[in-house]
């Protein structure tokens, strides 16, 4: 279900914990699985559970708790907007509304071209720079005014075309 390479990475994570404590590696294993597979399907979750000798529901608890894990397929760019209180007070909600309007989708949805998925996120620890946005769990963007949001979307589109051409 996962490549040898992914399994080797998971094994490295397991080795960080004492013997018999495989389940400690569950977050790392899910992250690696998601990176390879794009999202966490029921089959992937069962596989990770078996690999770590955990009841599947225990893995499911973790996968559903953290919203960086995706339980449904996502587009090439997953945009997560922080809507927690500090951000909300400084325009987080407006940023989300703007993205919804521009992309024509709501939270948890993906554009029909498969390029963008919009998600609602929790505090990313950068409240002072609100509104805060995270792209693909890794790239963070701060002070996202409408203009900056528009240019971000544009640059992501360009980046995707670039990749497509190559």
Partner 1 sequence: MLTLEIDGQRVTVEDGATVMDAAHRLGIYIPHFCYHKKLSIAASCRMCLVEVEKAPKPVPACATPATNGMRVWTHSPKAVAAQKGVMEFLLINHPLDCPICDQGGECQLQDLAVGYGQSAHCFSEPKRVVADKDLGPLIATFMTRCIHCTRCVRFLMEVGGYQELGQAFRGEHSEIMPFLEQTVRSEISGNIIDLCPVGALTSKPFLYRARTWELTRRRSVSPHDAWGSNVIVQSRFDQVLRVLPFEEESINECWLSDRDRFAYLGLDSTERLTQPLVKRGSEWVAVEWETALQVAVNRLNDVRAQEEGGRVAVLAHPMATVEELFLARTLAETLEGECDARLRQSSGRADSAREGAAWLNSTISEIAAFDGQWFLGSDLRRHLPLMAVRVRTAARRGAYLVAWSWVADEWRVPGLEWSLWTPATMGAALAKVALVVARRAGDDGALPRWVAEWAADAALSEEGTVALVQRLERCQRRRIWLGEGLLAHPQAAELEFLAGVVATRIGATVGWLVEGANAVGAAAVGANGAQSASELVAEPRAAYVLLHAEPEDFLVPQQAVEAFSRARTVVALSAFASASLRETADVLLPVTPFTETSGSFVNIEGRVQPFTAVVRPRGESRPGWRVLAALTTLLGREARFASTEAVRGAALREGWRERLATKPIARPPVGVPALERVEPAAVFRWYQTDPIVRRSTALAACTEEE
Residues 108/119, Cβ–Cβ less than 8 Å: yes
82 binds, among partner 1, ligand FES, none (CB under 5 to 8 A by kind): ligand FES
Residues 73/115, Cβ–Cβ less than 8 Å: no
Strand partners, 80: 119, 134
Distance CA 44, CA 39 (A): 9
63-92 residues in contact with ligand FES (CB under 6 A) are: 82, 84, 86-87
Binding segment toward ligand FES, per CB under 6 A, in 62-70, 71-79, 122-130, 147-155 = 122-130
**Tokens at 58, concatenated:** 């225990």
> 8 or 89, CB closer to ligand FES?
89
Residue 83, number of CB atoms within 10 A of its CB = 18
Q: Does 95 bind ligand FES (CB under 6 A)?
A: no
Strand partners, 40: none
Q: Kindly write out the interface string for residues 17-46 of this chain, putting x where it contacts ligand FES by CB under 6 A and - elsewhere.
A: ------------------------------
List 2, 79, 103, 126, residue binding ligand FES (CB under 6 A): 126
């Amino acid at each position: 279900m996962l490549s040898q390479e992914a399994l080797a990475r998971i094994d490295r994570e397991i080795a960080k914990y004492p013997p018999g404590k495989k389940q400690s590696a569950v977050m790392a294993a899910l992250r690696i699985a998601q990176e390879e597979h794009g999202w966490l399907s029921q089959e992937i979750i069962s596989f990770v559970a078996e690999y770590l000798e955990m009841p599947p529901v225990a893995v499911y608890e973790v996968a559903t708790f953290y919203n960086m894990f995706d339980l449904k397929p996502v587009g090439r760019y997953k945009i997560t907007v922080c809507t927690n209180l500090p951000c909300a007070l400084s325009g987080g909600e407006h940023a989300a509304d703007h993205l919804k309007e521009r992309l024509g989708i709501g939270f948890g949805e993906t554009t029909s071209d498969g390029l963008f998925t919009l998600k609602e996120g929790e505090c990313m620890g950068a409240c002072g720079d609100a509104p805060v946005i995270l792209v693909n769990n890794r790239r963070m963007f701060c002070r996202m005014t409408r203009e900056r949001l528009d240019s971000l979307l544009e640059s992501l589109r360009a980046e995707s075309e670039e990749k497509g051409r190559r």
